[in-house]
Amino acid sequence: MEVRILSPAPMPKIIHQDENIIVVDKPINLSVHKGLVIHERTLADFLIEEFPEIGNVGDDPTLRPGIVHRLDRETSGVIVIARNQKYFDHLKNLFKKREMEKTYLALVFGKLKEKQGKIEGEMGRSRRDFRKQALVRGKVGVRKERYSLTYYKVLDESGDYSLLEVFPKTGRTHQIRVHLHSIGHPIVGDKKYIFKEHKKIETPRMFLHAKSLSFIGPDGKYYFFESNPSEEFKTYLK
């Protein structure tokens, strides 16, 4: 198996911390935790050094200390981490019940016919290519299929590009990337879910950003956190 060798990972920025949660603005090119082919420094490594108490929090604290949800390595933006088991269980339940509100920005190829809508269907690991996830469509088959749902809204259009606001209601692996690709509008800079005609277009990053996250805590308190896109993201949009 090929081992991924990468440049040193960038440092994450802490947006908020209290006795129950840590909220991080994750930069691109930083994996959330280690895996079979991920051996560079990760967000989990950074967190365990700064907040050692999370080493006992979660379903698998050795690998994912306090980590309730993930962002892809190439995706930037807001991610929340629990500092104790009570909040971990609460946040996990919110994700399960689809009561965690998440908003993403995505720059995609093409102009969408429907300016707002939803994408849904069964998702899982592709039977054609085990390295990819896929949405069940026609002859496209998957393993361990699970329901997925994403809403979207077009914010702006220019040339052959559209800027979308995206609201995933389920949390499947690569969900937004797969869903937008499935309707013919892959994310600019995505190297995995892309069409042949877009492969030669050079971009500095994948243009998917977790803009905001909000939820109700176990004590009834409302939490809202937001991350502005990087200057690189905004410069490319201009």
- The span from the CA of 139 to the CA of 74, in Å, is 29
127 pLDDT more than 70: yes
What are the pLDDT digits (tens) for 168-221? 999 999 999 999 999 999 999 999 999 988 888 888 899 999 999 999 999 999
Confirm or reject CATH 3.30.2350.10 for domain 13-97, answering yes or no: yes
Same fold, 13-97 and 104-198: yes
Coil, strand or helix: which one is 89?
A: helix
User: For this structure, is 72 an active site residue?
Assistant: yes
Q: Is the pTM of this model over 0.85?
A: yes
CATH of 104-198, one of 3.30.420.40, 3.40.50.720, 3.40.50.2000, 3.30.2350.10: 3.30.2350.10
Domain boundaries, the chain: 13-97, 104-198
* Catalytic residue of the set 18, 59, 72, 190: 72
What are the pLDDT digits (tens) for 1-16? 344 444 456 789 999 9
* DSSP one-letter code for 121: E
Handedness of CA 139, 142, 143, 147 (dihedral sign): negative
Provide CB contacts within 8 A for 129, sequence distance 6+: none
